[in-house]
Amino acid sequence: MTQWDFAREIASGDIVVFDIEDAAPPSLPIWELWPSSKYHPQRNPSEQCRLILGCSQAGDSSKPAAIRFGRSAFKQYGPQGAYSRLRGAGRGGDNPTSSGRGRMNQYQGAVFFVDMLGVGALTQNQVTLGEGDFKAWGMSPSISPSANLFCGQLLTTFRSCLAAVRTCHKQVKIAQLSDCAYIWSENVLAVLDAARAFMWESVNAGLLSRGGISYGEIVEPDKINRAIGHFILGGAVTRAVGLEKAGKGCRVFVDDLIHRQIQKSDAVRFKDEAFSSLKNPLDGTVVREFCWYATGGSVADWSNEPHVAAKKLITILTKLQFSPRFNWNQANQHGRIQLACSVDSISAATPTFIGNGNYILKGEEYLLQLEANNDRFASNFQQVLSARLTDIERFFVDGIQKDPMQRWIERRS
């Protein structure tokens, strides 16, 4: 597409405005700098930079469209990201006056693919459901209990978790396909934040989900038929789907590109405990896990709020162990393995915030417990949770971990 073809599609006289702060104007071939006495990039880069299409030969339009990116958007997307969005706008993506149809946007971004575990076994009648399973999800067992009816309730809850993420995370797009979903954006941090939020929402709701996050090419339509919904494809999508199968349990695995971008960024909330490397002793391969349960994300700085983090971790760990909503997951061997691996990884994060290893539970030991005892009751869950939350209070004072020496002295006295 030439400069003039692009100009014709947008309409003559369109002005694209960047408000920039401590940043030079983007070096893009199709733009010309609009002279302005107020803009002096060498002396005052915080002044507004106005860029205008070179479209004086593109015809006339009585209704020119205006597109504006504020300081935060410019910082978020960068010059190339903003450029791709503006091109999308010119081709009908964000410009309601454009008549372009059926065209695709292509850009670099992050994709989170998440799959609800156990649905295949459930719909193939490999799980025997009891009255307690239906009651745990607020359903009245019908005369002929149906696994598909039960699965429909799980999918509705899965969708509610996605809706909650969409409400609070405006920078990402979301598409659900039955028992799996995609969450994506040009902004890597936004995807990590949304992935973290979804995992907390889903496990707290009683669902086991597992995901993969990859960075790379994203292709999507510039116009969405809202009656049907989004769709997405590209290299990042394919790799995210593959990463989801890298391990067991309600975990999220990431590729090296995601990890390197985070390490180079100034996002303190996604460093230190946010990632771990898992090595397969059989072949030496390494996969990186995004430890969504070990970081407050954009919600809070857990390094300064260990008491809050400890209570959340203990709550979610106790739900995985005792909540009747996970009863159907442990009804077969595959589900028990997923639960055991979930408990193993999440419990391993508790010492960081509690200060001791009292709540570390090895997956293989917990798996033996599951095979020996299949009973889950709501009353038992509440009793255990209450006892644990009371127990961890002794490790904190005013929301901060007690000094190890102080705890030792208390034990001796």
Same domain for 233 and 336, yes or no, is no
pLDDT at 8 over 90: no
User: Domain ends where: 294, 319, 347?
Assistant: 294
Same domain for 176 and 74, yes or no, is no
Same domain for 7 and 29, yes or no, is yes
Q: Give the whole-angstrom CA distance, residue 248 versus residue 289.
A: 11
Same domain for 91 and 45, yes or no, is yes
Say if 300 falls within a structural domain: no
142-to-124, 135, 150, 158, 326 alpha-carbon distances in Å? 19, 11, 11, 22, 20
Query: Which tokens is 112 given?
Result: 């989170």
pLDDT at 266 over 80: no
Same domain for 152 and 267, yes or no, is yes
Report pLDDT digits (tens) over 337-359: 999 999 999 999 999 898 888 99
Say if 206 falls within a structural domain: yes
Q: Which DSSP symbol is given to 247? A: S
Same domain for 91 and 182, yes or no, is no
Between 205 and 64, where is the model more confident? 205
Same domain for 316 and 272, yes or no, is no
User: Domain ends where: 85, 100, 115?
Assistant: 100
- The parent domain of residue 310 ranges over 306-412
Same domain for 58 and 186, yes or no, is no
How confident is the model at residue 383, as a pLDDT? 94
How confident is the model at residue 143, as a pLDDT? 61
Q: Give the whole-angstrom CA distance, residue 31 versus residue 53.
A: 5
Q: What is the pTM of this model?
A: 0.73
What is the DSSP pairing of strand 286-290 with strand 396-397?
unpaired
Same domain for 228 and 145, yes or no, is yes
Q: Which DSSP symbol is given to 171? A: T
How confident is the model at residue 99, as a pLDDT? 34
What's the chain's average pLDDT?
76
Rg of the chain over CA atoms, in angstroms? 26
Same domain for 90 and 122, yes or no, is no
Number of compact structural domains in the chain: 3
Same domain for 112 and 85, yes or no, is no
How confident is the model at residue 97, as a pLDDT? 29
| Reported confidence tier of residue 363, pLDDT bands at 50, 70, 90 | confident
| Reported confidence tier of residue 286, pLDDT bands at 50, 70, 90 | confident
pLDDT at 165 over 90: yes
Say if 299 falls within a structural domain: no
User: Domain ends where: 274, 294, 314?
Assistant: 294
Q: Give the whole-angstrom CA distance, residue 72 versus residue 19.
A: 9
Burial of 390: CB neighbours in 10 Å, binned 0-12, 13-18, 19+: exposed
Same domain for 311 and 286, yes or no, is no
| Reported confidence tier of residue 33, pLDDT bands at 50, 70, 90 | very low
